[in-house]
Homo-oligomer: A and B are copies of this chain.
Amino acid sequence: MNCVKCKTKAVIGLPRHNAAFCKPCFNEFVHDQVSRAIKAERMFGRADRILVAVSGGKDSLALWDVLLKLGYHADALYVDLGIPGYSAKSREEVERYADRVAKPCHATLLIHTVQEEEGAGIRELADLINRPTCSACGTIKRYQFNRAAVEQDYDVMATGHNLDDEAARLLGNVLHWQDDYLDKQSPSLPASVEGFAKKVKPLYRLTERELAAYAVLNRIDYIVEECPMAKGSKLLLYKEVLNRLETESPGTKQRFYWGFLEKQAKARPVPTSMAEKDQATLRPCATCGQPTTAETCSYCKMMARAKAGIPR
């Protein structure tokens, strides 16, 4: 199998593009897909300051790497959730990448530690308020990333969601016909309201497999295991099912997700963020000052409930 561009020996085949690439041409392909995503969805420009949400997994580290290689001003935030046997290892991968690649490019790694800030790790917090860990984790990460981006004047927040993530989420939303979620499922949500950062997903044109290959070929170490809290999650089931369809018909995921985006663009040229809908009723949280539709934001409510029970 030879590279479709330069005809040297290929290192990866991409059935959905009916193509194969050598390492340099594959890197070019990945960079090109990210550039096309940034341009097509008007994500950010050369002058913008970007905050990448990194987890230690292949996607977010590959995203940080591609943005730096493309010459963007991209810092990163890692939120240490204190998951036993997982957070320490994932944090190590993030710090290693930051030291080796990001810092020499004058990029900064910010770290927020939930244990230090709130006095307990995610599992303990979730247990205390009797909520599923993944749901508490979502609230914490959304809050921490948004606050850091807004307080430190980043123009945009970028996450490592890839085509598999977005197609799986879309399948879940379609199976339940969740119109509210379908409306919001865009790779670029504008910062329509003061206090909410613009959010973008520059990897939506690349699959999980392609990003794993990018990380391996470019010697980016990452945590391979899924988060132990995510076992049995619906998203993993939807990914499994989409992989089954992809094997039979390469290109199924991209037709499904990109087709949805085209359909959506025709129906409604500018995507609506959750915040935009609630614009009329937003006010500063009484506890932290972040925007919320209630007296206290959901993050502060959660922490107040948890703290009422945390042993000192």
A interface with B by C-beta (< 8 Å):
174-177, 179, 234, 237-238, 240-241, 244-245, 248-249, 252, 255-256, 259-260, 262-263
Contact = CB atoms under 8 A, between A and B. Distances in A.
A252 B175 contact: yes
Which of A177, A234, A262 has the most C-beta atoms of chain B within 10 angstroms of its own C-beta?
A177
A256 B175 contact: yes
A177 B260 contact: yes
Copies per complex? 2
A263 B177 contact: yes
A237 B241 contact: no
Name the residue among A174, A175, A255 with the largest chain B CB count within 10 angstroms.
Answer: A175
Nearest to A263: B177
5 contacts: A174-B174, A176-B256, A177-B262, A240-B244, A241-B244
Nearest to A262: B177
A232 to B, nearest CB: 9
User: Which 6 A-B residue pairs are closest in the complex by CB-CB distance?
Assistant: A177-B259, A175-B256, A241-B241, A177-B263, A174-B174, A237-B248
A197 B238 CA distance: 39
Contacts of A177: 256, 259-260, 262-263
A241 to B, nearest CB: 5
A176 B255 contact: yes
Contacts of A252: 175
